[in-house]
Structure 1
Amino acid sequence: MTLKRLTAFLVVLLCLAAEGWADESFLPDKLPILGGSKAYMPSLVTGDMFVGSIFVGLIAGLITGVIGAGGGYILTPALMSFGVRGIMAVGTDQFHLFAKGIMGTTIHRRLGNVNFGLAAWFVLGSLFGVTAGGRISRALFQHSPVLSDAVISSVYVVVLGILGFYALLDCRRERRPAAGGGGEAGFRLARWLQALPLKPRIAFDHDIVPGGRSISVYPVIFCGFVVGFVASIMGVGGGFLTFPMFVYGLGVSTFTTVGTDILQIIFTTFYSSIFQYAAHGFIFYSVSVGMLLGSLVGVQIGAMVTMMVSGSQIRAFYALTILAGFSNRLCALPRKLADLGLIALGRNTAVIIEQVGTVLFFAIVGLFSLWVLVAFFRNVKQERARFQAENGRTGGGLVAKPLSFWTGVAGVLLFSVLLAVGLMPRSDGRTLLSRADHFFNQLAKNSAYNVPAGLKRAAGFEGQFVDHGIRPRELMHPQQIVRVVSASGLTATELEDRRVRVTGALRALAEAALDDADLAFHNEGGQIRRKHGMADPDVLYCWWIVFDGLARRFVQDGKAAEANFCKFITTRVL
């Protein structure tokens, strides 16, 4: 497809989307605040959501098969474009990449190229990086869901922007005559690091370089830390960072890098998805399974296409997919910053900019997927003829590999049956997928059930009274906070400066908030709505605002015990 045709296609898509932007009903009603353990992951899964996740996984699988990258840099922006919270998109993506890693057949083909010394020290650093990145990501979310989304989007803009534009420059250099010295700067760094007289050291590339190479473990650990940190915040496997770090930074051969990278992705995404996100309820399991099913199909098609196209074409489309994720998060940033109050931007304008990024994103990745599928079907006959020639066959039936073909057909039929069973409503109206989602989420929530501990700590503040002004935050009206506090038998009034004055016993205030949190945890949102006349996530967010404001005030007053208790309520319960 020529550049002119691509441009015309994008313009048509933007024009078709303009009607939706102009309609006020197209805009979301309000910011979907997550509060309470229940809201960490919705237990309701629709058929459309699951089918959509298969489509997104198929695109990521095509990218993986053609380019070799994990596709995580496409999945997280796609999920966020569908309205999934950034932290949940990251956790879901990490879990999907881990599952795909242990199921991928490429592991068995490439495991012989793994240097286990490099992998072990690199994984050690990545585990520290994942821990740091996961804690920062959760802390940002607990402080402000909008800030969390803004930070995740900003990291995508910076990382994908640098990689994308560098990839485009690399494509331009390929079209020019060799000028010499293109990668010399990177290899100078590798030689310098390998010459550092620090022990212990790792030996590698014995089969490629006479005598092999060696390097101190400390640069390897540092690279692992950086990759793990970025991967846990972006929701990616880190392969697009590992490759340049190993090849240009550490001087490792391409073959060893590929095998070692596959191994580190398994360990990194396992630790990140299970211990940093699943244990805290930040994974949408049904969506992850759907993406896995789609990606496994896409990988097989994409891998066959790599034998039919040139390397320069693959690198060019790699650059385009990187820039697709970059443009998507870049256009989403203005709305995030406006929600935070950091920039003055109208709501309609911010949403239009965000939707432009969404259209560009899906247009680019959609065209990439279309190109892969067209290349696949266009070259099927040639590939079949090549296979028959290599195996001494002529003529024959329509199917060149009957066993592989019928195995694939059986797999498709089995998948279709399982999908139909999973989406079929039961007697209570819930599907099997929604039941599974609810079950796994309950396990994750049980690991973060801190209501009893909160009640025990609240008893220690008997006789402690509060009388402080609380400032509302992020789309929550003062009267909503007044309603929540007053419905619990406490006193709250709106002041002239729009702050809410909260007066009463600290223990009673905490017990009221903990009671609502406990109802939310046990999926009794209806009781919360009847009590307060508000949606249960909004009620819990009001309580979060109250205790966050009290914690700040207690810090100013030098009351450490009270401040720590309020911080416990906001970070561990609400």
Structure 2
Amino acid sequence: MEWMYMLMPIAGVKLFWPGLIILGLGMGVIGGFFGMGGAWMITPGLNILGFPMAFAVGTDIAHMAGKSLISTMRHGKFGNVDYKLGLIMLIGTVVGMEMGAQILMSLERIGNIDLVVRLLYVVLLLFITWMVFSDVAKRKAKDRAALAAGKEIDHKAVGLEWHKTLHKIKIPPMVHLNVSGIYCSMWLPIFISFATGFLAGILGIGGGLIRMPSLIYLMGCPTHVAVGTDLFEVMISGLYGAATFTYKGRTELVAAVIMLCGAAIGAQIGTVATKYIKGYGIRIAFGWAVIGCLTSIVLKLIGGWVPNLKALCNGAATVVVLGVVTVMALYIATGMVKGAAKEIAEKKAKA
């Protein structure tokens, strides 16, 4: 089975290359669908496959930039991208990402990078899981209350409404974001992008893992616009991140190219799927994907804390992360096929 492992010349490690293809193709589908680079799975996935954490971070950011470009072009055709909002957010993203990257390099020098990054992932994923499913539960409660009162269900209603409080902050300059249907202080998207950029630099994510839900819950963007706008932001911040990590010698270009080949195909599928699976369907699927990623990271941590279980936990973590990517990609692809078939049938019926 030696032929299934490839030497990565810059990182100096041998990797299971079919795993790179699965990650690239699967996360191309998932990234195009959820509006993010997919580093929330790929960075821990590369680490689980054998990359040192700093190389996992840099390599994923390089792969993410190219994939997000493809997805953004498709979302732009559907009118899902708020370019004005994305450009404003770049201000905070670039500053935050560079600060995070510098801290990451400091952690690598003192030898604490793997433990700190994994623990940060666990905390972040737990919070996002709570946020998504709390939102879903509150939305369902509103639907039940409307039905009980004999009213029609408001399909535009949301569970968490944090954005309404934040929109009351009127610190000038104020901006109209027409695509998102938002009027707010320009400092709100800048602050959100700085926070997500900072975490992106430390965790090796394009920020999409937290920026997409932040655009929904803190900015108040419609889900499909949050997806497209986040990908636009991921594309640009990813290009900057790729440049800074390559300069620091922490990007394995061979692995990035292998993943990008699969991602180029997968991104087309995921982007088109948002035409047929909208709103809370996207949010619920996102929540379950986060849970799967969280499980794989916890298994990796247990393997580090209990030496006797290290081989078993590492193997289980690999199966979980690749399994989640595969299942989510199949779910999204199936939704796209069913939606397209229904659309074609309706057109034929009208003809």
Gaps of 5+ in 2: 1-7, 147-156
Query: Secondary structure at 2:168's aligned position in 1?
Result: helix
| 1:256-275 equivalence runs, <5 A | 257-275=226-244
Deviation at residue 299 of structure 1 after TM alignment: 2.3
Contact 2:99 2:198 in 1 (8 A): yes
Deviation at residue 250 of structure 1 after TM alignment: 3.9
Contact 1:160 1:322 in 2 (8 A): yes
RMSD of equivalent CA atoms: 3.3
Query: Which of 40, 49, 53 is 1:82 aligned to?
Result: 49
Q: Quote the residue 1:137 is aligned against.
A: 104
CA distance in 2 between partners of 1:170 and 1:110 (Å): 26
CA distance in 1 between partners of 2:191 and 2:21 (Å): 36
Deviation at residue 59 of structure 1 after TM alignment: 0.9
Deviation at residue 125 of structure 1 after TM alignment: 1.5
Contact 2:216 2:226 in 1 (8 A): yes
Query: Which of 124, 128, 134 is 1:169 aligned to?
Result: 134
Contact 2:30 2:267 in 1 (8 A): yes
Query: Secondary structure at 1:282's aligned position in 2?
Result: coil
CA distance in 2 between partners of 1:285 and 1:136 (Å): 23
Question: In structure 2, what residue type is equivalent to 1:289?
Answer: V
Query: Which of 171, 185, 194 is 1:215 aligned to?
Result: 185
CA distance in 2 between partners of 1:255 and 1:173 (Å): 20
CA deviation profile, 1:519-545 (whole Å, cap 9, x unmatched): xxxxxxxxxxxxxxxxxxxxxxxxxxx
CA distance in 1 between partners of 2:223 and 2:98 (Å): 28
Query: Which of 263, 268, 271 is 1:300 aligned to?
Result: 268
Query: Which of 315, 322, 325 is 1:365 aligned to?
Result: 325
| 1:384-395 equivalence runs, <5 A | 384-386=344-346
- Tell me: CA distance 1:93–1:131, structure 2 relative to 1, closer, same or farther (3 Å): same
The range that moved more, 245-254 or 69-78, is 245-254
- Tell me: CA distance 1:241–1:375, structure 2 relative to 1, closer, same or farther (3 Å): closer
**2:156 is equivalent to residue 187 of structure 1:** no
**2:312 is equivalent to residue 352 of structure 1:** yes
Q: Quote the residue 2:116 is aligned against.
A: 151
- Tell me: CA distance 1:80–1:255, structure 2 relative to 1, closer, same or farther (3 Å): closer
TM-score (norm 1): 0.51
Contact 1:115 1:256 in 2 (8 A): no
With a CA cutoff of 8 Å and minimum separation of 6, indicate the structure with the bigger relative contact order: 2
Contact 1:126 1:224 in 2 (8 A): yes
CA distance in 1 between partners of 2:266 and 2:303 (Å): 33
Contact 2:121 2:203 in 1 (8 A): yes
CA deviation profile, 1:198-221 (whole Å, cap 9, x unmatched): x4x141235776xx724143x433
Identity percentage of aligned residues:
23
Query: Which of 66, 69, 72 is 1:102 aligned to?
Result: 69
Number of residue equivalences: 332
**2:11 is equivalent to residue 41 of structure 1:** yes
- Tell me: CA distance 1:112–1:73, structure 2 relative to 1, closer, same or farther (3 Å): closer
Query: Secondary structure at 2:286's aligned position in 1?
Result: helix
Question: In structure 2, what residue type is equivalent to 1:357?
Answer: A
Q: Quote the residue 2:203 is aligned against.
A: 234
| 1:48-87 equivalence runs, <5 A | 49=17, 51-87=18-54
The range that moved more, 356-365 or 224-233, is 356-365
CA distance in 1 between partners of 2:216 and 2:286 (Å): 18
- Tell me: CA distance 1:368–1:129, structure 2 relative to 1, closer, same or farther (3 Å): same
| 1:376-455 equivalence runs, <5 A | 382=342, 384-386=344-346
- Tell me: CA distance 1:359–1:186, structure 2 relative to 1, closer, same or farther (3 Å): same
CA distance in 2 between partners of 1:299 and 1:91 (Å): 20
Deviation at residue 251 of structure 1 after TM alignment: 4.6
- Tell me: CA distance 1:257–1:386, structure 2 relative to 1, closer, same or farther (3 Å): same
Query: Secondary structure at 1:213's aligned position in 2?
Result: strand
**2:175 is equivalent to residue 203 of structure 1:** yes
CA distance in 2 between partners of 1:160 and 1:312 (Å): 19
CA distance in 2 between partners of 1:128 and 1:303 (Å): 29
CA distance in 2 between partners of 1:93 and 1:100 (Å): 11
CA deviation profile, 1:173-229 (whole Å, cap 9, x unmatched): 444434589656503432332x23xx4x141235776xx724143x43322221111
TM-score (norm 2): 0.80
